[in-house]
Structure 1
Amino acid sequence: MGNASSLLQLLGVDAFGLASMITQAALTARRNRDACQQLAEHVRVVAGLLRRIHQTLPRLRRHPETRRPLEQLDDALRRAYLLVRSCGHEQAARSYLYRLVTGASTAAKLRAAEEEIDRYIRLIPMISLVATVRAEVQKKGVQFSAR
């Protein structure tokens, strides 16, 4: 602790500034814990909906143009799972000081993961439409090309 306080004195951080920094970092760490839990819940909801979509519309995975975005969504969900899992491990394995220092980076990763998942979710209506049109056209015996 003595080395840390000497370093902070050299950097010109007074006790009030240090207390303010710690308070801000603690709030960020708490928000990250909440954001991590929200991301986990979001992933659970999305996974449940995807499971239902895959059961009712298996034709979505038959063709590359409709399969690719769903695979990308699956990959985004896997990365989100790993991120959420690392949040839990981070809480247990890392020191409080480390979590305080890396809080902003973790917050950015959580936001990015949720935004990526939502980007792919917004494509699902279009994916379903392409699959439906493809099925209708093929029923009529006409060759369908989504390109």
Structure 2
Amino acid sequence: MASSWDKLGQAASIMQVTGVDAFGLVSMIVQAAHTARHNRDLCQQLAQHVQIVGDLLRKLDIPELKRHLETRRPLDQLDAALFRAYKLVRSCSQHQENRSQLYLMFTGAEVASKLRLAQEEIDRYINLIPLITLVAALGDRFSSR
């Protein structure tokens, strides 16, 4: 069984190969939330939340922050969390014609819980941004001596 680090590395590799970054993922989540059929309100809330996150991230020099391994890892994990959130929101918009109303009712609560957890996970990485920028600034300051 693959470890979570392996899965994270695979997700990060897929995103790097396809050129998807946090900003692209934010846009994809917002678009997918517009087409959500199940858990529409929670999908919209998550989309609004990641839009705010994306706006804040635009103020950072992400390529510079990703230059150092110590600061790249949490940003890659944020990208992976956004990618998982996108897949979750996307699942709410997929056509479920072969599913019964009863099945959708039971799985709806589970998906709603996962949407809330996705937002919490994204917040955990966002809370690290001040520390990431501090570490990057200190690293640049000491390396320029």
TM over 0.5: yes
Give the counterpart letter for 1:66 in structure 2.
Answer: T
Q: Cα gap change, 1:99/1:124 in structure 2, threshold over 3 Å: closer, same or farther?
A: same
Normalised by the length of structure 2, the TM-score is 0.66
Structure 1 vs Structure 2 CA RMSD: 2.3
Count of matched residue pairs: 109
> Is 1:100 matched up with 2:105?
yes
| Structure 2: gaps spanning 5 or more residues | 1-36
Normalised by the length of structure 1, the TM-score is 0.65
Cα-to-partner distance string for 1:18-75 (whole Å, 9 max, x where unaligned): xxxxxxxxxxxx993211111122122222332332xx35321111110000000000
> Is 1:34 matched up with 2:41?
yes
User: 1:134 maps to which residue?
Assistant: 139
Q: Choose from 74, 77, 89 the match for 1:72.
A: 77
Q: Cα gap change, 1:91/1:39 in structure 2, threshold over 3 Å: closer, same or farther?
A: farther
Which protein has the larger Cα radius of gyration, Structure 1 or Structure 2? 1
| Structure 1: gaps spanning 5 or more residues | 1-29, 141-147
The structure with the greater share of residues assigned to helix is 1
1:87-126 mapped onto 2 (5 Å cutoff): 87-89=92-94, 94-126=99-131
Give the counterpart letter for 1:111 in structure 2.
Answer: R
Cα shift at 1:91: 6.4
Q: Choose from 49, 55, 80 the match for 2:56.
A: 49
